[in-house]
Structure 1
Amino acid sequence: MGNTTTKFRKALINGDENLAYQIYESNPQLKESLDPNTSYGEPYQHNTPLHYAARHGMNRILGTFLFVRDGNPNKRNVHNETSMHLLCMGPQIMISEGALHPRLARPSEDDFRRADCLRMILKWKGAKLDQGEYERAAIDAVDNKKNTPLHYAAASGMKTCVELLVKHGGDLFAENENKDTPCDCAEKQHHKDLALNLESQMVFSRDPEAEDIEAEYAALDKREPYEGLRPQDLRRLKDMLIVESADMLQAPLFTAEALLRAHGNDKPRSFQMFSVLL
């Protein structure tokens, strides 16, 4: 059993789906005991079998893990990555320097296979929650670099996966640790058409911060309409003007009031006339 488990793990890690599936189907004991959510430990960066199936776009095995073996795509590895993160890295993976390193010898239908895998993950339902709903795959989960699956799909140029993520509510405005949105990631990796598509969707969608501002304006609109100064406010301002003018002219209050009244409360004109009288 131990040798079989090791062979199966190696096949998953190497992305050999045919061999992995053959080992799984031909070993009833392995099928019975395998938990796709169990970490392979620190030497494997705490990736699970489900992580590796997603990483290589193994749609047959991924479907089995999710819908037969109770796999949970929200499980995290040491980098805080979910299965959806690894899936959306595509045939290229992000290395420590931040550049994209291509995995060679990938099948030409890789994008199709990954899109199929993504549909399965988005369809997945987990345990029933307190509110009566079921746990779903965290579409905007962030890893240690604050990347979402949409960041990786955009950087990898996987158009179909990007469309699926956006359709299911992926955050177009999410920023990673470099303050890059998914649109920025696509542009930096020279996926110009994809970047333009994401940019246009950002323009015509609603930024959550903008919605908060609009909500504040809506609340202001519901307040009582402004109808100008009340009579008591006007009287108070007039009294202040008379006192101020009297102080500046060094004249009695009634004189200042008379001058202001005569010149339509025009203080400069009142001062001019008062200096002529002096």
Structure 2
Amino acid sequence: MAKVAFLGLGVMGFPMAGHLVKKGGHEVTVYNRTPAKAKAWADQFGGKTAATPAEAATGQDFVMACVGNDNDLRSVTLGPDGAFAAMKAGALFVDHTTASAEVARELDAAAVKAGFGFIDAPVSGGQAGAENGVLTVMCGGDPAAYARAEPVIASYARMCKLLGPAGSGQLTKMVNQICIAGLVQGLSEGIHFAKKAGLDVNAVIDTISKGAAQSWQMENRHKTMNDGKYDFGFAVEWMRKDLSICLAESRRNGASLPVTALVDAFYAEVEKLGGRRWDTSSLLARLER
């Protein structure tokens, strides 16, 4: 058992923090900028709440975070009442936010200077993966720090791997999102084509999903896409945030991402249709408007 703080109780953080109690048996203190959300979590899982990130981090062995973006992350770490000023020497900060590699390296340097560890550890698997404790976690940082974090992360992960130094987890998450963007667009076009051709979409997918075209998106999203249902899942506005990080990094490292840029533009069109909070599979709605 470890003493753990968890900062950020959104659709991902709320169940992740819960698994630290239920599966890991850890002593958990949570912080959320909306105190009512923290109270609801404590009522459900029996942990403690804190009024600020610094209060949550005080005396903890591990501090985990899952917030919105780079600015949110800097706020809960380096801002007034941020966690970094309160963390004890030898503690470890694990960041599950999908953010830039740049901020990961920045926070890693600040952590090392202050005498504690830092791991960037963005996740994949969506809300269902978080609720079921089967997330994929992509990590960057010092190997010794990672070895300490891995058993704690295991409370909500089925796959966890160190990919390299600080920032490597975020870079790997960018690869993940680049691949998903292209897959969803291809699946949308395939379903759209099947409909126009007069085929039974479910029968088509049942057949081709047993071959080389198979993907998680195909298996888990084709039925709702065929029914035009998008009011769930990973929101378009969140995907656009992630793709903006990918495209910014590509401008730094020289990678060419023409399909990613095109799909991001398609998602902008979906937003104009009123789909900011629709699931990312709503790319099909753009083709059928």
Instruction: Give the TM interval when normalised to the shorter protein.
Output: under 0.3
TM-score of the pair, normalised by structure 2: 0.27
Structure of higher CA gyration radius: 1
